[in-house]
Amino acid sequence: MSVLKQMPFVKLIIPFVFGISLVTAVPQVGAYALLPLILVIVLYFIFSLYRTSILAKRFAGLSILLVFLCFGSWLSHNKDPKNQKQNLEKAGLSGFYLIRISEIPQIKLKTVKIQARVIGRILDGKMMKANEFALFYFDKKISVPKPGDELIVKCTFKTIPEPENPYQFNYKRFLKWQGIYCQTFIRNPNCVLKTGENKASLFQNLSYNGNQYLKKLFHENIKDSTALGVTEALIFGYKEDLPKDLVESYSRTGTLHVLAVSGLHVAVVFLMLANFLWFLDKRRFGVWLKTGIVIICIWVYCILTGMSPSIIRAGLMISIVLIGKALHRQTNIFNTVAFSAFLILLINPFWILNLGFQLSFAAVLGIVYLQHYILPLWVPPNWFMRQVWNILVISICAQIATFPLSLYYFNQFPNYFLLSNLIIIPLTTIIIYTGIGMVVFSKLSPLLLPFSWLTEHLVILTNYMVTRIEKFPFSFIDGVKLNTIQLCVLYICIGCLIFWLVNANKKGLISALICLTLLISIASFDKLRLQKQKHLVIFNIPNQNALLVSDGRKSLLISDNLKSGKQMFYMRGWLIQNRLWPINKEYDFNGIDTMKISESEMNLRIEKGVLFFKGTKLNLSWNNLGRFASTKSHISPISFNWKSIYDDNMCDTVYIGQHKSKRLQKKVKYFLSKYHNCVIYDTKYMDLMN
């Protein structure tokens, strides 16, 4: 039997994923997928009638692949709420709506964030049906509802806004693939009426009640706030109490995966249950009883932790393997992975764009395939060294498979990932055991106290180790730019290298070198192109001013509240895209009137609030911009393309300041009317001009 015949879902998942990807890239394709799907199914049955013909068999095999390709496209189109009849499309549509809470509310600093299904709009005593998810932000004065609660709310829906700065994280696109297009803010408690109905499913009730119980348990027994946030994330996936700087530390050390409930956590729960129920193996029907108990417990844990794609994948894989063993059938792990991916995408095809889904399946495939070749390279002499070697091998395999995605999404790479995982994975495994011990013995204080103390101090130790490794010299590479083409070429390069090492085939090495040359060429051409560009960018940052000047090689930032570091969230994407990360020099905007700055390499200087750069004069002095209408006013976001400006032979003085100054409005309006072809501005700013 050929290898592919043992993995039917591996063959089918490839065209299925391709069909989904086709619709995400070109949404119009999905609208025409149904007719080809029916046609290909008919062709498949026609070719199946002539099984004796070799040509017919081949066409039948090809047609079934085309069936899954068309099915993936049709399913994606059909599951996209944008293609269904909607009643929330118009931004600003105000009225009374019947909604049903669909997820556990997230407590934010000033609001409560809730995802809910809009059932319909109430108009003149009648219900206009709707079926769309939306985001609701409730003021904290409003009592927090539970999943399944039905409410009547008076609100005005608005479309999710686009990011206000180039290459900033696109929250609108992120929500789009979750089927969410609108949001609303409700501040008045009188705009919310509870109907008294709760239509939560059994799974929703189990998840919510368990989540609330665990939150209360950990809040009462773990006093350190940082340790509390990490414990909640590790045990049941609640991340709202996690400090952002600590999350960044875990990311930079390559251990962020432990904070996301995934296959590691499900594996720990499985091993604990399997070892605890060892006595059932020797009893009649004990294997089936053990299998049933373990599967039920694992899925209860999956429901409790929020049913993310990575946790569903782990639950499905373990369940399929356990059932196969109970039936005394050997399962192919690649076929199991493909089958679990198919089931997940069948529920929601847009999960293919979920970062957790991508990283989870990439890591599993890397571990399953590469571990078989790397593990025998060294035979450890004792049990302890075997455990160390196993952790190292798993870390290497997972990192090889996922580091291109990490570079693509996070633009950074942890250099000490082997060291950090070698320390953090054993610690977090013990924490999961002690955390589960807290839950099991939550009603027995004599046993709860030692488990709580041990969990808290182990988490404190883990956090300390992570922050220490982060501070090592060259602990991570940051600011790496990788586009979609480079991502694909990098994965092809890795595949060719593995093929060469496994099969000792020179073709693999030659192909890998070609891919590597292509990668270097793309990066070099991109860098040379960007170094010729000169920029002056005013970033749109709430309650802050930030102006960046660059000659293509070096950059200078003038902003206020430098110590807060808040501006980097809005600027980082643009800086990395233009290969200007990190910023070379930073100055405070508030003292610009008295500063004397000279950057000879950039041909830039600032004197008494006036910036001179490449023959252009820019007045930054607040004193020369007229009186402010408000002390909270800020400069408006305008991006200048210096090459276009030079083509227009611009040599006038440009004034930049807060948009509420009437004097400034006239000057900027004149500037925009004269040089509109080389200025990018936001519509909100222009509305104020007109």
Neighbours of 85 (CB within 10 A): 10
Residue with the bigger pLDDT between 569 and 227: it is 227
pLDDT of residue 644: 42
On the question of pLDDT at 686 being above 90, the answer is no
Residue 145 is classified by DSSP as P
Cα–Cα distance measured from residue 606 to residue 463, given in angstroms and rounded to the nearest whole number: 44
- 352 CB contacts (<8 Å, ≥6 apart)? 17, 20, 21, 24, 345, 358
- 358 CB contacts (<8 Å, ≥6 apart)? 352, 405
For the segment 630-655, the average pLDDT, to the nearest whole number, is 44
Q: Structure tokens of 492?
A: 């092809």
For the segment 523-535, the average pLDDT, to the nearest whole number, is 84
- Average model confidence (pLDDT) across the chain: 80
pLDDT of residue 615: 67
On the question of pLDDT at 668 being above 60, the answer is no
pLDDT of residue 512: 93
Domain ranges of the chain: 4-79, 94-200, 207-370+393-477, 484-530, 532-689
pLDDT of residue 625: 43
The second-level CATH assignment, the architecture, of 94-200 is Beta Barrel (2.40)
For the segment 561-588, the average pLDDT, to the nearest whole number, is 81
Terminal Cα-to-Cα distance of the chain (whole angstroms):
74
pLDDT of residue 334: 85
pLDDT band, very low/low/confident/very high, at 688 (cuts 50, 70, 90): very low
Residue with the bigger pLDDT between 371 and 662: it is 371
654-655 sheet: strands from edge to edge: 596-599, 604-607, 610-613, 616-619, 654-655
pLDDT of residue 565: 67
Cis bond before residue 582 (omega within 30° of 0): yes
DSSP assignment string, 49-118 = TTTT-HHHHHHHHHHHHHHHHHHHHHHHHHH-GGGS--S--STT-EEEEEEEE-S--EE-SSEEEEEEEE
Cα–Cα distance measured from residue 633 to residue 661, given in angstroms and rounded to the nearest whole number: 9
pLDDT band, very low/low/confident/very high, at 510 (cuts 50, 70, 90): very high
pTM across the whole model = 0.82
- 48 CB contacts (<8 Å, ≥6 apart)? 56, 60
How many helices, marked H, and strands, marked E, lie in the chain?
A: 21, 21
pLDDT tens digits along 325-356: 777 777 788 888 888 888 888 888 888 888 88
pLDDT band, very low/low/confident/very high, at 521 (cuts 50, 70, 90): very high
pLDDT of residue 67: 85
Residue with the bigger pLDDT between 151 and 178: it is 151
Residue with the bigger pLDDT between 281 and 293: it is 293
Instruction: Note the Cα 78 to chain centre separation in Å.
Output: 24
Contact by Cβ (8 Å): 496, 509: yes
pLDDT of residue 136: 93
pLDDT band, very low/low/confident/very high, at 639 (cuts 50, 70, 90): low
On the question of pLDDT at 489 being above 90, the answer is yes
Residue 635 is classified by DSSP as B
The residue among 403, 415, 315, 412 whose CA lies nearest residue 359 is 403
Cα–Cα distance measured from residue 494 to residue 487, given in angstroms and rounded to the nearest whole number: 11
Secondary structure (3-state) at 587: strand
Residue 191 is classified by DSSP as G
φ/ψ (deg, to 5) at 369: -80, -50
pLDDT tens digits along 112-146: 999 999 888 887 778 887 778 899 999 888 888 88
Kindly calculate the radius of gyration of the chain based on its CA atoms and give it in whole angstroms: 29
- 170 CB contacts (<8 Å, ≥6 apart)? 162, 163
pLDDT band, very low/low/confident/very high, at 613 (cuts 50, 70, 90): confident
Neighbours of 598 (CB within 10 A): 11
pLDDT tens digits along 283-340: 777 788 888 888 888 888 888 777 777 788 788 888 887 887 777 777 788 888 888 8
pLDDT tens digits along 356-406: 888 888 888 888 889 889 988 888 888 888 888 888 888 898 889 999 998
